[in-house]
């Protein structure tokens, strides 16, 4: 097949949607659950297996694959002007403990579909084109989320990240060494000309409005907290109610307060407690220690700040009234992000040229693009997911929608290659 010039028009080239869907089903084997989802926590054996698959798949398309000191993988297709920094695509292959087959995965495999199209059509680009698999985006094993893209962007130091431990005390750096993906290149030293990320929406708006493409303009602000309430373990049968220091009762009241605070701060504010540990967790012991996590989000950073202040005040009041010791640590703070106008415009033009119904949208979830926007011009592409359901084994998306997202990604990358 004849080679097209990088200076030519973007053209009508499209991805192989059938092969893209096959890749989604094939990679779902690594950590697949009986309910049809995936449990592929960062830096586990299942993560190593899908990383090895990623290397093989990219090398089969003539790419060279490397990984940096945080385990981020880079699959590189050469450009005609190799001194130019690469135009990149990316997302992640790690999942929640009860995750689905699409969150993050669509972005990596959609990028793979772009590389496959360029390879099979012989299309040349001025810039090298790279596909990135980011390490530990989910934060479900090592908090906070987006840890490695955060190091890449200078938000966290590499040593902070390597010393982070999971709930069982396993150190991030040791787990990374354990799966053989600690690279030599210093995380963040990799040049980037622009970054595009394809993702399922993880919300219901596109589906409800019958839109195929979400043109993502930015990401809302979000903060995570870890809360520990300490009282006193005591016998459930012989300790009078008035003499108890029950940490779980106060935790329950605080968890309810998280819900109330979010509802009181406007239509876009959200507050969640999704992790709780009750100790000693025995049916006939008054709980003396409770740990839980809090997640506050809103597109307006000032609203997030107000929710934090309200939560701190109620937590102090409730803990003092119950005679408990309170510890609150803010473990993650990512302000609202606005994506690059030119990259957003490239996504919009791609959707329009391909005839896909589209709308502009703000992301309610955090993504590696949040931190990449601090490094290079960045934009995201959303496709619908059934019922807006995500972080769930029943997470689902339509093959045609996933293919559409990959086609928009391909077109936006090619236009950006000609523009920069």
Binding site for Zn(2+), residues? 92, 103, 138, 199, 391
Rounded distance between C-alpha atoms, residue 103 and residue 139, angstroms: 13
Q: Which residues of 340-370 are buried (b: 16+ CB within 10 A; e: fewer)?
A: beebbebbbbbbeebebebbebbbbbbbbbb
Bridge partners for 223 per DSSP = 296, 333
Nearest one of 132, 155, 107, 166 to 365, comparing CA atoms: 107
φ/ψ of 260, rounded to 5, equals -65, -45
CA 385 to the chain's CA centroid: 15
81 and 128 Cβ atoms separated by less than 8 Å: no
CB 214 within 8 A of CB 405: no
Q: How far is CA 419 from CA 80, 87, 342, 413, in A?
A: 15, 11, 10, 10
CB within 8 A of 282, min separation 6: which ones? none
Chain centroid offset of residue 249 CA: 33
| End-to-end Cα spacing for the chain | 27
* CA separation, residue 278 to residues 33, 228, 250 (Å): 27, 10, 12
β-bridge partners, 325: 230
Q: With contact defined as beta carbons under 8 Å apart, do 247 and 324 qualify?
A: yes
Determine the 3-state secondary structure of 241 from DSSP.
Answer: helix
Does residue 199 contact residue 107 with C-beta atoms inside 8 Å?
yes
The rounded Cα 218 to chain-centroid distance in angstroms is 14
Residues whose CB is less than 8 angstroms from the CB of residue 110 and which lie 6 or more positions away in sequence, other chains included: 15, 20, 89, 198, 402, 405, 406, 409
Angstrom distance (rounded) from CA 105 to CA 394: 15
């Amino acid at each position: 097949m004849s080679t097209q010039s990088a200076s030519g028009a973007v053209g009508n080239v499209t991805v192989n949607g059938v092969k893209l869907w096959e890749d989604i089903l094939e990679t779902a084997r690594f950590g697949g659950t009986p309910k049809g989802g995936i449990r592929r926590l960062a830096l586990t054996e299942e993560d190593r297996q899908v990383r090895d698959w990623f290397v093989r798949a990219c090398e089969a398309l003539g790419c060279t694959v490397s990984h940096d000191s945080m385990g981020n993988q880079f699959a590189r297709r050469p450009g005609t002007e190799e001194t130019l920094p690469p135009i990149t695509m990316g997302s992640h292959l790690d999942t929640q403990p009860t995750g689905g087959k699409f969150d993050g995965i669509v972005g990596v495999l959609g990028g793979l579909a772009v590389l496959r199209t360029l390879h099979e059509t012989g299309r040349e680009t001025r810039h090298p084109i790279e596909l990135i698999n980011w390490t530990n985006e989910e934060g479900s094993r090592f908090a906070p989320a987006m840890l490695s893209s955060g190091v890449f962007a200078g938000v966290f130091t590499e040593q902070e990240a390597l010393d982070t431990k999971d709930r069982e005390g396993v150190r991030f750096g040791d787990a990374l060494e354990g799966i053989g993906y600690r690279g030599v290149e210093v995380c963040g030293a990799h040049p980037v000309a622009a970054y595009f990320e394809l993702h399922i929406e993880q919300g219901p708006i596109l589906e409800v409005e019958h839109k195929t493409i979400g043109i993502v303009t930015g990401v809302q602000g979000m903060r995570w907290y870890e809360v520990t309430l300490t009282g006193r373990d005591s016998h459930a049968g012989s300790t009078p109610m008035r003499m108890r220091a029950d940490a779980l009762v106060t935790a329950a009241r605080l968890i309810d307060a998280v819900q109330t605070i979010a509802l009181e701060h406007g239509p876009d504010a959200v507050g969640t407690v999704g992790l709780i540990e009750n100790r000693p967790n025995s049916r006939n012991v008054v709980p003396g220690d409770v740990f839980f996590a809090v997640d506050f989000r809103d597109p307006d950073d000032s609203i997030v700040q107000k929710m934090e202040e309200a939560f701190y005040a109620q937590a102090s009041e409730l803990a003092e009234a119950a005679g408990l010791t309170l510890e609150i640590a803010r473990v993650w703070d990512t302000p609202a992000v606005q994506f690059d106008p030119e990259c957003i415009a490239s996504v919009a033009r791609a959707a329009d040229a391909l005839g896909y119904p589209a709308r502009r949208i703000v992301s309610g979830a955090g993504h590696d693009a949040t931190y990449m926007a601090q490094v290079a011009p960045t934009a995201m592409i959303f496709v619908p997911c059934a019922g807006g359901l995500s972080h769930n084994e029943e997470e689902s998306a339509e093959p045609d929608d996933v293919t559409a997202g990959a086609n928009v990604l391909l077109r936006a990358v090619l236009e950006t290659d000609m523009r920069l």
